[in-house]
Amino acid sequence: MSYTVNHLKALESESIFILREVAAQFQNPAILFSGGKDSILVTYLAKKAFYPAAIPFPLVHVDTGHNFRETLEYRDKLVERLGAKLIVGSVQETIDGGRVAEEKGYNASRIRLQTTTLLDLIEKYRFDACIGGARRDEEKARAKERFFSHRDEFGQWDPKNQRPELWNLFNGRMHMGENFRIFPISNWTELDVWQYLAMEGIEMPSLYFSHKRRIFYRDGNWLAESPNIPMKPTERAEEMVVRFRTIGDITSTGATLSSASTLDDIIQEVAATRVTERGGRADDQRSETSMEDRKKEGYF
Amino acid sequence: MVDLITAKSNQYAEVEKFDSNSYLNMELLRFTTAGSVDDGKSTLIGRLLYDSKSIFEDQYEAVKATSEKRGEQYVNLALLTDGLKAEREQGITIDVAYRYFSTPKRKFIIADTPGHIQYTRNMVTGASTANLAIILIDARHGVVEQTRRHSIIASLLGIPHIAVCINKMDMVDYNQEVFEKIIEDYRDFATRLKTKDIHFIPVSALLGDNIVHRSENMKWYEGVTLLYLLETIHIASDINHIDLRFPVQYVIRPYSDEFHDYRGYAGRIASGVIRPGDKITVLPSGFTSKVKQVELDGKVLNEAFAPLSVTVLLEDDIDISRGDMLVRENNLPRQSQDIEAMVCWMSDKPLQLNGKYALKHTTKDVRAVIKEIKYKLDINSLHRITDAPCIGMNDIGRISLRTTAPICCDAYTKNRDTGSFILIDEGSNVTVGACMVID
- Please indicate, yes or no, whether residues B182 and B317 belong to a single structural domain of this protein: no
Considering the domain boundaries, does residue B23 fall inside one?
Answer: yes
Considering the domain boundaries, does residue B344 fall inside one?
Answer: yes
CB contact under 8 A, B420 and A186: no
Q: Which of A2, A7, A19 to mutate to test the interface with B (most CBs of B within 10 A)?
A: A7
- Please indicate, yes or no, whether residues B22 and B89 belong to a single structural domain of this protein: yes
Single out the residue in B328, B353, B374 at which a domain terminates.
Answer: B328
Chain A: closest CA distance from residue B174 (Å): 34
- Please indicate, yes or no, whether residues B297 and B427 belong to a single structural domain of this protein: no
- Please indicate, yes or no, whether residues B376 and B427 belong to a single structural domain of this protein: yes
Single out the residue in B328, B355, B377 at which a domain terminates.
Answer: B328
- Please indicate, yes or no, whether residues B79 and B148 belong to a single structural domain of this protein: yes
Domain count, chain B: 3
User: pLDDT band at residue B26, thresholds of 50, 70 and 90?
Assistant: confident
Considering the domain boundaries, does residue B88 fall inside one?
Answer: yes
- Please indicate, yes or no, whether residues B180 and B39 belong to a single structural domain of this protein: yes
User: pLDDT band at residue A76, thresholds of 50, 70 and 90?
Assistant: very high
- Please indicate, yes or no, whether residues B224 and B269 belong to a single structural domain of this protein: no
Domains in chain A, CATH or no CATH each = 7-190+288-297 (3.40.50.620), 192-280 (no CATH)
Residues 57-96 of A with CB under 8 A from B: none
Chain A: closest CA distance from residue B283 (Å): 19
- Output the pLDDT for position B10: 41
For B99-118, write each residue's pLDDT tens digit. Answer: 888 888 899 999 988 888 87
**Amino acid (one-letter) located at A279:** G
CB contacts, 8 Å: A267 with chain B: 18, 20
Considering the domain boundaries, does residue B383 fall inside one?
Answer: yes
Considering the domain boundaries, does residue B58 fall inside one?
Answer: yes
- Please indicate, yes or no, whether residues B158 and B258 belong to a single structural domain of this protein: no
- Please indicate, yes or no, whether residues B213 and B281 belong to a single structural domain of this protein: no
For A253-271, write each residue's pLDDT tens digit. Answer: 788 888 888 988 888 888 7
**From B24, B94, B361, residue closest to A6, measured CB to CB:** B24
For B114-151, write each residue's pLDDT tens digit. Answer: 888 878 888 898 999 999 999 999 999 999 988 988 89
Query: Cβ(B140)–Cβ(B204) under 8 Å?
Result: no
CB contacts, 8 Å: B58 with chain A: 275-276, 279
Chain A: closest CA distance from residue B129 (Å): 5
- Please indicate, yes or no, whether residues B126 and B34 belong to a single structural domain of this protein: yes
- Please indicate, yes or no, whether residues B314 and B253 belong to a single structural domain of this protein: yes
Considering the domain boundaries, does residue B2 fall inside one?
Answer: no
Q: Which of B12, B18, B99, B159 to mutate to test the interface with A (most CBs of A within 10 A)?
A: B18
Q: How far is CA B419 from the centre of its chain?
A: 14
**Range in A192-196, A245-249, B84-88, B430-434 the model is least confident about:** B84-88
Query: Cβ(A185)–Cβ(A42) under 8 Å?
Result: yes
Q: Which residues are CB-neighbours of A80 under 8 A, at least 6 positions away? A: none
- Please indicate, yes or no, whether residues B278 and B352 belong to a single structural domain of this protein: no
CB contact under 8 A, A7 and B96: no
CB contacts, 8 Å: A275 with chain B: 56-58
Range of the domain at B409: 334-437
Predicted-complex ipTM score: 0.90
- Output the pLDDT for position B313: 97
Residues 261-280 of A with CB under 8 A from B: 264, 267-268, 271-276, 279
Considering the domain boundaries, does residue B1 fall inside one?
Answer: no
Considering the domain boundaries, does residue B85 fall inside one?
Answer: yes
CATH number at residue B264: 2.40.30.10
CATH number at residue B83: 3.40.50.300
